[in-house]
């Protein structure tokens, strides 16, 4: 008894060290760089919740646009060339669930808005997800495997980076893990309380990220009926009804289905789906080859897939199949990246403890796939470290620019919008005719290292096609530094 007690104490102490280390990694200099565009968007939506009660498409009286989006529909407005994608067909924010905004609004009500406070709430969610990862791994494997997997997650630099952003990312991971943990407990105990806890976590997940909710729900359905071969019972009917009651009305309120009307090319979806099948086939092909040479021939049996492997396959497949083009980004796979930590630990131990060469190949396959996931080119200085936003703010303050003069940007307009009193507008969303004929004074900041190297959009990246072409020819410019310049346009030069 004492030995077991001391063992639990040691495990608890090690888990505390891991979680605390993860916290230090995430909190370190968290406010030493500006908010990037999507963080600004989240803060705007949270502030709208505080002022109007719901997230919508206007801030400081002007429409809110995405950065460099494909045009969903032309606008009849004399000022804007197209309508905002996130509010297409609805006055509400209809691209994602609202839970993130309400939680952040409540936190701002308590602590106020600062860059540190905006990110701190999501650090807490990320830390809780480390603990949930430990619980999931412990239930599926062992406390030792759980500790190692949690440690990998705690100090994984890309996951640390996403875990401290003022975005839904860490909340998404937390709620996916919460749903999986309650489902594991239901499979183990069949206690009624876990039906309700799963339903609650899925409802919260729905109101955070709907595509992840659909992928997780379909996994639970598949595993329950096809792997465990359970039947529909009274608790399932009750909880399914509750799930519908707390999700379907929101879909009709915001007209969520409109998001799917702007689907772009299916090429990228086919690429992702092919990669999933290649991943599965490679594992089982190598497994078959080894069994052949060992004269231990076995047929490929998909029922032998582990709980996590089934979830990863279904999650990726459903996410790629359903996600709207505007939301197509590797960030939707963040829960999968975290779960890879568990599989890495398992295969790592099999290589070095059991010396089974077969698992070396599986280990390498996961490493390669993980590398491919994370090899998407991201320039942190341009996207996630927009220091020029602070430089633009300082310029406006140093030159005593009045708060009633609008500011135009090509990107990160949301980031600047939440830290200055002026209205900040996305110039690429505006009509050239309006900009050519306006007599309104404004400042136009342009960052030389812009997003264009990442895009394939001639309308945005070729100056001849840009709405602001005549502005840069007529308005006087000032070079603030090597990367940032500003055009000051007023009635004398417009």
Window from 160-174, 311-325, 353-367 with minimum mean pLDDT: 353-367
Name the band, by pLDDT with cuts 50, 70 and 90, for residue 299: very low
Which of 320, 353, 374 is the last residue before a domain boundary?
374
**Within-domain flag for 136:** yes
State what percent of residues in the chain have pLDDT above 90. 43
Q: Are residues 125 and 230 in the same domain?
A: yes
Which of 374, 408, 430 is the last residue before a domain boundary?
374
Q: Are residues 477 and 443 in the same domain?
A: yes
Taking residues 70-85, what's their average pLDDT? 70
Q: Are residues 430 and 352 in the same domain?
A: no
For residue 51, the model assigns a pLDDT of 94
For residue 469, the model assigns a pLDDT of 78
Q: Are residues 215 and 348 in the same domain?
A: yes
Taking residues 421-427, what's their average pLDDT? 92
**Within-domain flag for 321:** yes
**Within-domain flag for 30:** no
Q: Are residues 186 and 282 in the same domain?
A: yes
User: 117 or 304, which is more confident?
Assistant: 117
Taking residues 435-455, what's their average pLDDT? 74
**Over the stretch 161-196, which tens digit does the pLDDT of each residue have?**
899 999 999 999 999 999 999 999 999 999 999 999
Name the band, by pLDDT with cuts 50, 70 and 90, for residue 227: confident
**Within-domain flag for 447:** yes
Q: Are residues 281 and 332 in the same domain?
A: yes
Taking residues 197-215, what's their average pLDDT? 96
**Over the stretch 234-254, which tens digit does the pLDDT of each residue have?**
999 999 999 999 999 998 888
**Within-domain flag for 48:** no
Taking residues 432-446, what's their average pLDDT? 88
Q: Are residues 332 and 431 in the same domain?
A: no
Name the band, by pLDDT with cuts 50, 70 and 90, for residue 197: very high
**Tokens 């594992």, residue located:** 283
State what percent of residues in the chain have pLDDT above 70. 74
Radius of gyration of the chain (CA): 25
Domain of residue 361, residue span: 114-374
> What does the alpha-carbon distance between residue 113 and residue 21 come to, in Å, rounded to a whole number?
26
**Within-domain flag for 54:** no
Q: Does residue 86 register a pLDDT over 70?
A: no
Q: Does residue 431 register a pLDDT over 70?
A: yes
Q: Are residues 239 and 343 in the same domain?
A: yes
For residue 282, the model assigns a pLDDT of 57
For residue 374, the model assigns a pLDDT of 54
Strand residues in 27-108 grouped as ranges (E): 58-59, 62-63
In 294-333, alpha helices (H): 307-322
Window from 6-10, 40-44, 435-439, 463-467 with minimum mean pLDDT: 463-467
Name the band, by pLDDT with cuts 50, 70 and 90, for residue 302: very low
Q: Are residues 365 and 395 in the same domain?
A: no
**Over the stretch 113-152, which tens digit does the pLDDT of each residue have?**
999 999 999 999 999 999 999 999 999 989 998 999 999 8
For residue 46, the model assigns a pLDDT of 97
The helix-helix angle for 37-52 and 115-140 (nearest 10°) equals 100
User: 2 or 391, which is more confident?
Assistant: 391
Taking residues 266-271, what's their average pLDDT? 56
For residue 175, the model assigns a pLDDT of 98
> What does the alpha-carbon distance between residue 354 and residue 36 come to, in Å, rounded to a whole number?
46
Q: Does residue 79 register a pLDDT over 90?
A: no
For residue 288, the model assigns a pLDDT of 57
For residue 453, the model assigns a pLDDT of 44
**Within-domain flag for 79:** no
Q: Are residues 292 and 186 in the same domain?
A: yes
Window from 15-19, 62-66, 115-119, 182-186 with minimum mean pLDDT: 62-66
How many domains in the chain?
Answer: 2
Name the band, by pLDDT with cuts 50, 70 and 90, for residue 346: confident
End-to-end Cα, the chain, rounded Å: 84
Cα distances (Å, whole numbers) of residue 210 to 56, 99, 189: 18, 11, 28
Taking residues 203-211, what's their average pLDDT? 95
Which of 326, 351, 374 is the last residue before a domain boundary?
374
Q: How far is CA 213 from the centre of its chain?
A: 13
Cα distances (Å, whole numbers) of residue 141 to 1, 148, 345, 489: 22, 12, 11, 64
Look up residue 205 and give its two tokens: 């997940």
**Within-domain flag for 256:** yes
Q: Does residue 456 register a pLDDT over 50?
A: no
Nearest Cα to Cα of residue 334 among 184, 104, 170, 206: 170
Q: Are residues 262 and 391 in the same domain?
A: no
> What does the alpha-carbon distance between residue 325 and residue 322 come to, in Å, rounded to a whole number?
9
Q: Are residues 311 and 425 in the same domain?
A: no
Question: Are the C-beta atoms of residues 95 and 55 closer than 8 Å to each other?
Answer: no
């Amino acid at each position: 008894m004492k030995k077991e007690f001391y063992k639990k104490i040691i495990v608890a102490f090690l888990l505390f060290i891991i979680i605390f280390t993860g916290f230090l990694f995430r909190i370190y200099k968290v406010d030493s760089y500006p908010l990037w565009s999507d963080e600004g968007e989240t803060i705007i939506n949270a502030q709208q919740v505080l002022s109007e009660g719901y997230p919508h498409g206007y801030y400081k009286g002007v429409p809110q646009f995405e950065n460099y989006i494909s045009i969903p529909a032309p606008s009849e407005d004399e000022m804007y060339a197209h309508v905002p994608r996130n509010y297409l067909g609805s006055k509400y924010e209809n691209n994602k669930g609202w839970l993130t905004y309400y939680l952040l609004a409540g936190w701002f009500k308590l602590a106020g808005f600062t860059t540190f406070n905006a990110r701190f709430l999501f650090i807490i969610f990320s830390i809780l997800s480390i603990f949930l990862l430990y619980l999931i791994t412990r239930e599926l494997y062992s406390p030792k495997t759980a500790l190692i997997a949690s440690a990998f997650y705690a100090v994984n630099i890309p996951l640390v980076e996403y875990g401290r952003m003022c975005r839904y990312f860490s909340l998404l991971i937390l709620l996916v893990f919460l749903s999986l943990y309650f489902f594991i407990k239901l499979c183990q105990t069949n206690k009624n309380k876990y039906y309700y806890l799963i339903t609650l976590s899925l409802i919260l997940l729905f109101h955070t990220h709907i595509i992840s909710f659909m992928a997780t729900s379909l996994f639970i359905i598949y595993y329950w009926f096809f792997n465990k071969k359970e039947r529909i019972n009274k608790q399932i009917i009750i909880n399914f009804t509750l799930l519908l009651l707390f999700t379907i009305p929101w879909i009709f309120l915001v007209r969520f289905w409109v998001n799917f009307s702007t689907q772009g090319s299916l090429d990228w979806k086919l690429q992702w789906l092919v990669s999933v099948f290649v991943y599965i086939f490679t594992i089982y092909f190598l497994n078959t080859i080894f069994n052949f040479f060992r004269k231990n021939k076995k047929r490929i049996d998909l029922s032998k897939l582990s709980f996590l492997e089934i979830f990863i396959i279904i999650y990726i497949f459903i996410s790629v199949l359903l996600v709207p083009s505007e939301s197509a980004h590797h960030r939707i796979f963040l829960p999968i990246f975290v779960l890879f930590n568990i599989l890495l630990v398992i295969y790592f131990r099999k290589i070095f403890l059991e010396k089974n060469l077969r698992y070396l190949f599986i280990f390498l396959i996961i490493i390669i796939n993980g590398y491919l996931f994370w090899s998407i080119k991201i320039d942190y200085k341009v996207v996630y470290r927009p220091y020029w936003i602070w430089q633009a703010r300082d310029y406006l303050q140093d030159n005593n620019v009045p708060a009633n003069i609008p500011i135009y940007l090509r990107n990160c307009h949301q980031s600047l919008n939440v830290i200055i009193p002026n209205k900040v507008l996305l110039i690429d969303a505006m009509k050239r005719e309006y900009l050519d004929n306006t007599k309104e004074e404004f400042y136009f900041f342009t960052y030389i290292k812009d997003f264009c190297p990442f895009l394939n959009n001639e309308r945005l990246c070729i100056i001849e096609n840009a709405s602001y072409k005549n502005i840069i020819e007529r308005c006087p410019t000032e070079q603030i530094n090597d990367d940032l310049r500003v055009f000051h346009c007023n009635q004398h030069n417009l």
